[in-house]
């Protein structure tokens, strides 16, 4: 259940295409780079343990509505909708042209991380010469490519850069998706800290300064959920936690047996006395 | 100040208060260890001691010492072994005679800790150790409840358990073992017994992650490991009232004793020894090996 970050990347590319720089095409496949270790839960009916499902129910007659009868509405006033048909949406949806179109090259650190959305691993699809050339060029110059990608039906800005001997692509949020803190009222009138306070705060920061090491952080909540699931698998139904080691679990069962057997032996000795 | 020589040891700073609240001096500590020597030596001998020393008294910070201090006299027996955690060779003090015990007391080694295995085979435990540790608001009486439940399970398994006060809020239960077990076996065994108890009692917890659950009693299995230690039976504790980790009988325990009954002033070798049969008994572990 726990993720193995050292596992080989999935062979299955979910997108194949090319990085286009002007007239040059570098064939690539996209693979998963970031695997979030969320634990999926299925909702069950408590009484009989059977999965429940969501239904689309008409708010007027409480009848389940089949997909074929569903339309999309955009609310323009209280209870007033403009109806948009699926075909109309499909007609204006961007087609993935299987290209990562690079518009220009920028300094690798010039994109603020707030714009980062999802990151994918780019792998060479076919001969790797051009891939290696681009990677080494990026690495040598500290540059990255900025452009556009259409994944499924969504077009996004994309940043292509070198990371740990590979090329990676990070889709970016559009500027209007990110709140401008400058327009938040509470932040418009912050007090100005005194010089002494600032000096002290800076000293504290200096004293606590160190290297960034992401391995210092672990998802302990997930670990506890996983431990809970493991213990449930082994049959413990009320205890939130059971010994992690299978040996201990087996031993508990063996001890219970011994306890029961010795109790029975003592009882039979008593009887025969 | 008069120089007192006791056996091979020249006593120093004998009038220094080790327990300032109740004005007990280092001489009182030395006298205690002298008095209890016939009892305590049987638990110290053949083991690599870990000392907790309080040169300035128990109300000042003490320190643990695994390595023989500078100036250790040549007649003190030392045992050389490599410590993985310290990444160096340690010369542990071995206390198998009265002179060494006096020397330790004179070092203000208030607390004497013993590994659960003897020197001849440090990886083969000769004791099972259940450390019963109540988390406030649970206290000694909850620890007693847990210990009695533990006794019932252990005797139910055909084992002979012995109990002592920790000298603080907890209790220590041990079972003497025959040879041939590894620490991983004893640790799993203690863990599994704790697990059985925890399943049947809302008071008891057996997992490391639950150690700080308020009002619960944790049965700690983790000290069952090579070079990990237990407070030696009859060792003083660095508490304000000079409590002693004292072996008691199960009937005394059920009868309502409190840890404060057993101190430097009250414990002596004249008392009936509730652990008399400890080294005569040597148990095999059911379900293991």
Nearest CA in chain B to A263: B156
Question: Total structural domains in chain B?
Answer: 1
Q: What is the pLDDT of residues B250-274, one digit of tens each?
A: 999 999 899 999 999 999 888 889 9
The pLDDT, as a whole number, for residue A231 is: 76
Neighbours of A49 (CB within 10 A): 7
| DSSP 8-state assignment for residue A216 | G
How open is the CA angle A23-A29-A31, to the nearest 5 degrees? 145
Task: Give dist(CA B103, CA B7) in Å, integer.
Answer: 10
Asked if pLDDT for residue B147 goes beyond 70, the answer is: yes
Q: What is the pLDDT of residues B78-87, one digit of tens each?
A: 998 877 766 7
How open is the CA angle B233-B234-B240, to the nearest 5 degrees? 120
Q: Is residue B168 included in any domain, yes or no?
A: no
Q: Is residue B32 included in any domain, yes or no?
A: yes
Q: Is residue B200 included in any domain, yes or no?
A: no
The reply to whether ipTM tops 0.95 is no
Nearest by CB: B287 against A241, A243, A255? A255
Which residues face A101 on adjacent strands?
A: A20, A148
DSSP sequence for B30-89: HHHHHHHHHHHHHHHTTS--EEEE-TT-TTS--EEE-SPPTT--TTSEEEEEEETTTTEE
Judging contacts by C-beta atoms under 8 Å, the chain B residues touching residue A262 are: 156-158
Give B188→chain A minimum CA distance, Å.
Answer: 5
Residues above pLDDT 70, as percent of chain B: 98
Judging contacts by C-beta atoms under 8 Å, the chain A residues touching residue B192 are: 243, 248-249, 251-252, 255
Judging contacts by C-beta atoms under 8 Å, the chain A residues touching residue B191 are: 243, 245, 248, 251
A258 and B CB contact within 8 Å = yes
Q: Is residue B132 included in any domain, yes or no?
A: no
Nearest CA in chain B to A266: B156
The pLDDT, as a whole number, for residue A8 is: 53
A17 contacts A28 by C-beta, under 8 angstroms: yes
Q: Which tokens in the block code for residue A198?
A: 């600032």
Give A270→chain B minimum CA distance, Å.
Answer: 15
The pLDDT, as a whole number, for residue A4 is: 44
Q: Is residue B97 included in any domain, yes or no?
A: yes
> CB A243 to CB B189 under 8 A?
no
Nearest by CB: A248 against B156, B192, B199? B192
Nearest by CB: A241 against B158, B193, B210? B210
The pLDDT, as a whole number, for residue A91 is: 79
Nearest by CB: A258 against B188, B206, B286? B286
A247 contacts B188 by C-beta, under 8 angstroms: yes
Nearest by CB: A243 against B157, B195, B287? B195
The pLDDT, as a whole number, for residue A225 is: 82
Q: Which domain holds residue B70?
A: 4-116
Q: Which residues numbered 222-251 in A keep a CB inside 8 Å of some CB on B?
A: 224, 236, 239, 241-243, 245, 247-249, 251
Dihedral Cα B204, B206, B212, B216, nearest 10 deg: 0
Q: What is the pLDDT of residues B60-74, one digit of tens each?
A: 999 999 999 989 999
B241 contacts B22 by C-beta, under 8 angstroms: yes
Q: What is the pLDDT of residues B25-74, one digit of tens each?
A: 999 999 999 999 999 999 999 999 999 999 999 999 999 999 999 899 99
Judging contacts by C-beta atoms under 8 Å, the chain B residues touching residue A223 are: none
CATH number (domain holding residue B72): 3.90.920.10
Walk along chain A (273 residues) in steps of 10 and give the mean pLDDT of each run: 47 79 89 82 81 85 86 84 82 79 92 93 91 94 93 89 94 92 84 87 84 84 81 56 63 86 80 62
The pLDDT, as a whole number, for residue B289 is: 62
Asked if pLDDT for residue B23 goes beyond 80, the answer is: yes
B274 contacts B252 by C-beta, under 8 angstroms: yes
Judging contacts by C-beta atoms under 8 Å, the chain B residues touching residue A241 are: 207, 209-210
CA B14 from chain centre, in angstroms, equals: 25
Q: Which residue of B206, B222, B287, B289 to mutate against A (max A Cβ within 10 Å)?
A: B287
Q: Decide which of A23 and B11 is more confident.
A: B11
Average pLDDT for residues B118-136, to the nearest whole number?
94
Q: Is residue B162 included in any domain, yes or no?
A: no
> CB B196 to CB A255 under 8 A?
yes
At A84 the three-state DSSP class reads: strand
């Amino acid at each position: 259940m726990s993720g193995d970050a050292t596992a080989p990347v999935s062979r299955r590319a979910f997108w194949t295409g090319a990085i286009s720089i002007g007239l040059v095409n570098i064939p690539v496949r996209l693979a998963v780079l970031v695997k979030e270790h969320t634990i999926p839960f299925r909702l069950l009916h408590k009484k009989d343990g059977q999965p429940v499902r969501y239904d689309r129910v008409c708010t007027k007659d409480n009848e389940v509505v089949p997909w074929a009868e569903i339309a999309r509405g955009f609310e323009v006033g209280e209870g007033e909708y403009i109806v948009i048909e699926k075909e109309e949406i499909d007609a204006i949806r961007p087609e993935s042209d299987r290209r990562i179109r690079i518009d220009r090259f920028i300094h690798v650190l010039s994109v603020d991380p707030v714009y980062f959305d999802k990151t994918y691993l780019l792998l060479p699809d076919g001969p790797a010469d051009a891939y290696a050339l681009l990677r080494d060029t990026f690495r040598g110059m500290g540059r990255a490519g900025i452009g556009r990608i259409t994944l499924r039906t969504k077009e996004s800005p994309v940043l292509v850069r070198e990371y740990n001997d590979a090329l990676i692509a990070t889709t970016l949020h559009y500027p209007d998706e990110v709140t401008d803190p400058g327009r938040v009222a509470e932040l418009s009138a912050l007090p100005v800290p005194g010089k002494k306070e600032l000096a002290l705060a800076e000293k504290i920061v200096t004293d606590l300064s160190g290297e960034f090491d992401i391995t210092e952080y672990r998802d302990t909540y997930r670990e506890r959920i996983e431990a809970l699931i493991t213990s449930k698998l082994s049959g413990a139904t009320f205890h939130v936690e059971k010994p992690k080691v299978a040996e201990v679990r087996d031993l508990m069962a063996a001890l219970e047996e011994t306890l029961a057997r010795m109790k029975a032996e003592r009882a039979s000795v008593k009887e025969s006395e | 100040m008069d120089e007192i020589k006791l056996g091979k040891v020249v006593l120093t700073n004998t009038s220094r208060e080790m327990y300032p609240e109740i004005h007990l001096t280092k001489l009182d500590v030395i006298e205690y260890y002298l008095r209890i020597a016939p009892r305590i030596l049987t638990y110290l001998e053949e083991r690599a001691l870990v000392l907790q020393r309080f040169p300035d008294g128990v109300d000042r910070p003490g320190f643990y010492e695994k390595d023989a201090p500078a100036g250790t006299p040549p007649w003190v027996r030392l045992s050389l072994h490599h410590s993985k955690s310290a990444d160096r060779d340690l010369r542990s003090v071995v206390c198998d005679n009265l002179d060494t015990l006096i020397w330790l007391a004179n070092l203000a080694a208030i607390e004497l800790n013993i590994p659960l295995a003897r020197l001849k085979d440090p990886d083969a435990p000769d004791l099972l150790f259940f450390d019963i540790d109540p988390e406030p608001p649970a206290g000694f009486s909850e620890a007693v409840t847990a210990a009695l439940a533990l006794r019932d399970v252990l005797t139910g398994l055909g084992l002979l358990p012995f109990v002592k006060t920790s000298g603080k809020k907890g209790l220590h239960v041990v079972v003497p073992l025959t040879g041939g077990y590894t620490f991983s076996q004893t640790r799993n065994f203690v863990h599994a017994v704790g697990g059985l108890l925890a399943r049947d009692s809302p008071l008891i917890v057996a997992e490391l992650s639950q150690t700080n659950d308020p009002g619960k009693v944790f049965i700690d299995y983790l000290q069952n490991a090579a070079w990990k230690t237990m407070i030696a039976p009859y060792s003083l504790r660095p508490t304000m009232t000079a409590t002693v980790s004292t072996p008691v009988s199960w009937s005394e325990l059920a009868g309502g004793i409190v840890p404060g009954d057993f101190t430097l002033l009250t414990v002596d070798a004249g008392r009936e020894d509730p652990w008399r049969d400890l080294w005569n008994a040597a148990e095999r572990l059911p379900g293991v090996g």
